[in-house]
């Protein structure tokens, strides 16, 4: 697992957006070959979505051949409710990029048969050949998507009852009234995310510091579900300084020393191509 430590949330947003852009470009997506991207909601990824929309507007990237799969949504909120993740994704990202609506997949928390909805979602991911890159955020209790503490680390998409901490953390979006927060959600499982080729987890702010400590410095534990990614081959956790407050100085130093290597992970495809063709030209 890699840990990329940057100064501010804005740096995290920019790094993450460049990483996503590079992954999609390097993949060379086209009508016969779609890139499959898993996406989160929450306050943390907003900056990344803004940057990606900007890159798309400037013609640096296209999402035409990208299939998108969202992590989760509440049960019982109409899709046009301002706090539904359908609404969030459309207003914060999809309406700003060149997507084809047929490539957008979001769990329907209003489906008549919720279990079937979850099973079908897993099937859809399988049919698309799995997820290339799953992006996630974490809750203050270390949950990924809505995989609350105690969730099975081999879980699949299912209905989940939310923990009190999650209701508390998310009531800021519901007039600070905990009774307005839906108590159930549909969520991809930990294993659904673990199956992705690459995983990028965004963590910012001191409220996530304890969770980051558990996910990085303690063992794999179903009480901190994002700790499961210690056992994934290609997971990058990316955080700001504030989120490192509970980490050991030694850990922070080690990963910060790798920042030059981490920079290579977002080196632009174009500049790499130009510099290698320049090299060929100079060698002649």
Ligand X SMILES: N[C@@H]1[C@@H](O)[C@H](O)[C@@H](COP(=O)(O)O)O[C@@H]1O
Q: Which C-beta is closer to ligand X: that of 93 or that of 146?
A: 146
Supply the minimum distance, in Å, between the C-beta of residue 220 and ligand X. Answer: 19
What is the chain's Cα-based Rg?
A: 19
Nearer to ligand X, 137 or 189 (CB): 137
| Residue 269 in tokens | 């495809």
Task: State the minimum distance, in angstroms, from the CB of residue 273 to ligand X.
Answer: 34
204 and 242 in contact (C-beta within 8 Å)?
yes
Distance of closest approach, residue 126 Cβ to ligand X, in angstroms: 22
Catalytic residue among 148, 195, 198, 240: 148
Smallest gap from Cβ 136 to ligand X, in A, equals: 6
Catalytic one among 72, 73, 117, 240? Answer: 72
Element (H, E) at 25: helix 9-27
Decide if 143 is catalytic.
yes
How far apart CA 252 and CA 250 sit, in angstroms, is: 6
86, 143, 213, 214: which one is catalytic?
143
Q: How far apart are CA 39 and CA 70, in angstroms?
A: 5
Task: Note every long-range contact of 90-95, with CB atoms under 8 Å and residues 24 or more positions apart, other chains counting.
Answer: 92/46, 92/49, 92/50, 93/39, 93/49, 93/52, 93/53, 94/68
Is 168 known to be catalytic?
A: no
Specify the residue, 62 or 183, whose C-beta has the smaller distance to ligand X. 183
Closest C-alpha among 196, 85, 190, 77 to residue 143: 190
CA-to-CA separations, 134 to 146, 148, 280, in angstroms, rounded = 14, 18, 36
Please, which residue, 29 or 136, has the CB nearer to ligand X? 136
Least distance in angstroms from the C-beta of 52 to ligand X: 16
Q: Residue 105 CB, nearest distance to ligand X (Å)?
A: 16
* CB-facing half-sphere around the CA of 166: CA atoms within 13 A: 21
Minimum CB distance to ligand X smaller for 29 or for 216 = 216
Q: Residue 222: which of 136, 131, 154 has the closest Cα?
A: 154
Q: Please tell me which residue in 73, 86, 105, 141 is annotated as part of the active site.
A: 141
Among this protein's residues, is 72 annotated catalytic? yes
List residues binding ligand X (CB under 6 A): 40-44, 71-72, 137-139, 145-146, 166
DSSP string covering 86-98: HHHHHHHTGGGS-
Q: Which is nearer to ligand X, 21 or 163 (CB)?
A: 163
Catalytic, 7? Answer no
Give the residue numbers marked as catalytic.
Answer: 72, 141, 143, 148
């Amino acid at each position: 697992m890699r840990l990329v430590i940057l100064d501010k949330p804005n740096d995290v947003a920019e790094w993450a957006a460049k990483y996503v852009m590079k992954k999609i470009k390097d993949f060379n997506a086209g009508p016969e070959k779609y890139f499959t991207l898993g996406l989160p909601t929450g306050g943390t990824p907003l900056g990344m979505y803004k940057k990606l929309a900007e890159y798309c507007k400037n013609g640096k990237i296209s999402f035409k051949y990208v299939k998108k799969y969202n992590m989760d949504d509440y049960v019982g909120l109409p899709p046009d409710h301002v706090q539904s993740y359908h609404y969030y994704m459309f207003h914060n990202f999809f309406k700003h990029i060149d997507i084809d609506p047929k490539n957008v997949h979001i769990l329907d928390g209003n489906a008549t048969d919720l279990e079937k909805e979850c099973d079908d979602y897993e099937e859809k991911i399988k049919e698309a050949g799995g997820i290339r890159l799953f992006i996630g955020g974490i809750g203050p209790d270390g949950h990924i998507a809505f995989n609350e503490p105690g969730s099975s680390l081999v879980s699949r998409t299912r209905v989940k009852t939310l923990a009190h901490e999650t209701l508390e953390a998310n009531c800021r979006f519901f007039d600070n009234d905990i009774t307005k927060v839906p108590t159930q959600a549909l969520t991809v499982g930990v294993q659904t995310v673990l199956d992705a080729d690459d995983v990028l987890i965004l963590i910012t702010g001191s409220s996530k510091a304890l969770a980051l400590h558990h996910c990085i410095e303690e063992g794999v534990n179903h009480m901190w579900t994002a700790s499961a990614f210690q056992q994934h081959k290609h997971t990058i956790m990316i955080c700001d300084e504030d989120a490192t407050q509970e980490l050991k100085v030694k850990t922070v130093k080690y990963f910060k020393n790798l920042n030059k290597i981490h920079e290579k992970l977002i080196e632009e495809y174009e500049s790499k191509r130009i510099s290698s063709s320049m090299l060929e030209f100079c060698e002649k």
